[in-house]
Amino acid sequence: MKLKQTFRWFGPSDPVTLADVRQTGATGIVTALHQIPHGAVWPVEAIRERQDMIRAAGSEGAPLEWAVIESVTVSEAIKTRSGAYRQDIENYKQTLRNVAACGLDVVTYNFMPVNDWTRTNLDYAMPDGAKALYFNWFDLAVFDVFLLERPNAADDYPAHVVAEAERRFAQYSETEREQLAGVVMFGIPGEAKQTLAGMRDKLATYNDIDANALRANLTDFLAEIAPVADELGVRLAIHPDDPPFPIFGLPRIVSQASDYAYMFEKVPNMSNGVCFCTGSLGANPANNLPKLARTLGDRIHFVHLRNVRKDEHGNFHEAAHLDGDVDMYAVMREILAVQQRVEYPLSFRPDHGHQMLDDLQKTTNPGYSCIGRLRGLAELRGLELGICRAEGW
């Protein structure tokens, strides 16, 4: 059995339309109801409205369906177990019931505190003229130490990183500083943007939450929702931390094999699974991705395939899907081996992509222009076909 090919779509305001997605050859849409506040219940009517919109954009020869939810966002109240977190958990359970009633059975989420994925440059120039997403520790320190002014932030970086950050801060214009802050706090397209003041306030709520406390909060949350997911036949897919390192003084608890082992030991329900993101996990040189995919096995409920290339400082940019430091052949082979064992289609999507060709002249969501992801999907589709032919799958 082959994997289900999907494409991320951020809803009606996405510059990439469903008509565009239909031409990529993907048949599954990965989306969410981003207009609904975090912690609130997703109404059945809103879910079905989105499903109908997606189906209507397909055609007899090129059908489209909502295949994976990405994401039902976990509220900050749940992550910190504060405020109205109990109500938010009950609302999350009800959302699971509502999406299951509509036939949706894969729900992606993450447990990253305060920020979602974090980059320092959204327009990193590639040698071929395309643009990529980039993470640079020196610029992160510029933001953290000199713009955000987080207390004692400099203590979290090596001295040479702080020294270079100070040099860059002095060199950057006010416009460049504002641009850097906007990039670091960019977040998910379609959701409200953060401010420096708002980020400081959120960080303060984690002053007494270390990695062990955050792990406990995650597994307590899962202990409540996984039985509901089991009953409904919904597969939960936690996305790894991006990047997979502590930043802004915040713990990262979904970054490596030991994190997953802890999560499954505490909450063994089979609905408790992962979104295997090769880009996020691949940014950590300690992660052996083919081995990790083999270890996770049937716990892999959704797959993001993208590549990264790291430098000697640990900075990384997003490379072409078959380029970079991730052995995509070996990873794809392990994912396909999982697909042969499970009874349901395992969805993957080309995650991120270079802004290239005509998309360079357009306003696109960073990492989510159409042509770069289409290139990635085409390359991954060919890789999958070659492996399946060689293995007789």
| Cβ contact 307:324 at 8 Å | yes
Active site residue 52: no
Q: What residue spans of the chain are helical by DSSP H?
A: 18-24, 44-57, 76-80, 85-101, 137-141, 159-171, 174-184, 196-204, 211-232, 257-266, 278-282, 289-296, 328-341, 370-391
Give the active site residue among 134, 259, 277, 370.
277
Instruction: Taking each helix axis as running N to C, give the angle between helix 211-232 and helix 257-266, from 0 to 180 degrees, rounded to the nearest 10.
Output: 60
**What is the Cα–Cα distance from 5 to 386, expressed in whole angstroms?**
16
Alpha-carbon span 315 to 266, nearest angstrom: 33
Q: Which of 105, 116, 139, 351 is catalytic?
A: 351
Q: Are 99 and 234 in contact (CB under 8 A)?
A: yes
State how far the Cα of 348 lies from the Cα of 121, in Å rounded to an integer: 26
Set 85, 109, 239, 388: catalytic member:
239
277 is catalytic: yes
Question: Phi/psi of residue 312, each to 5°?
Answer: -70, -15
User: Is 206 a residue of the active site?
Assistant: no
Compute the residue count for the chain: 393
**Any catalytic annotation for residue 351?**
yes
Given strand 121-125, what is the order of strands in its sheet?
A: 121-125, 131-135, 316-319, 307-310
Catalytic residue among 134, 352, 354, 388: 352
Find the catalytic residue in 275, 368, 370, 388: 368
Selected catalytic residue, list 301, 304, 321, 354:
304
Residue type present at position 84: A
Residue 239 annotated in active site: yes
Residue 370 bears catalytic tag:
no
- In whole angstroms, what is the distance from residue 373 CA to residue 6 CA? 11
Catalytic residues: 239, 277, 304, 351-352, 368
